Amino acid sequence: MSMGFFNSISIRIPLAFIGGVLYGLLTYAIVLTLNFPARIAIAAGLLVFFLYLGSRLLILFSGIDTPYYSKGQKGSPYENTAFYQTAQWVGKFYHYHDTVLFAFLVILAIVFLISLIMDGVENRPWGQTIQDLWDKLTPSF
């Protein structure tokens, strides 16, 4: 594997924190939406944050070359152990997760850009096309 910008540990650590915060907030919002008490929502959000952050940092600092993060060195004292095989599986999962998430965000950005262009061409207020789409997709109560 080649060392790239996103393979840098100084990039991966802040991304792990940001991802943990965002997934924690998403969990918090989902738990609140399900009408659980706020204390449970906070606990669930913190649990997801620490599990996400911890698993990403474990992969980063394990010294194992995975699809998620590669130090560029070959061989590991853990090779052919359950920990090594699990690290490989988790590394592949995170690699594919990040790839799919990036593709989703690019598609979302393109959709928003197209909607803004449509608003500008039709002399509508900015965001009106997205608002109309959102109104059609969400049921009115």
Query: How much is the mean pLDDT over the chain?
Result: 87
Across the range 2-6, mean pLDDT stands at 55
Domain ranges of the chain: 1-61, 76-141
What is the band of 73 on the pLDDT scale with cuts at 50, 70, 90? low
For 18-56, how does the pLDDT look when each residue is reduced to its tens digit (9 = 90+)?
999 999 999 999 999 999 999 999 999 999 999 999 999
In Å, how far from its chain's centre is CA 141? 31
Strand, coil or helix: 76: coil
What is the band of 3 on the pLDDT scale with cuts at 50, 70, 90? very low
Across the range 80-95, mean pLDDT stands at 89
Structure tokens at 80: 């052919």
How far apart are alpha carbons 71 and 107 in whole angstroms? 31
pTM (two decimals): 0.70
Q: 23 and 52 in contact (C-beta within 8 Å)? A: yes
How far apart are alpha carbons 84 and 65 in whole angstroms? 9
Structure tokens at 66: 């995975």
Q: Which of 128, 104, 133, 105 is nearest to 116 (CA)?
A: 128
Per-residue pLDDT at 21 = 95
Q: Is the pLDDT of residue 113 over 80?
A: yes
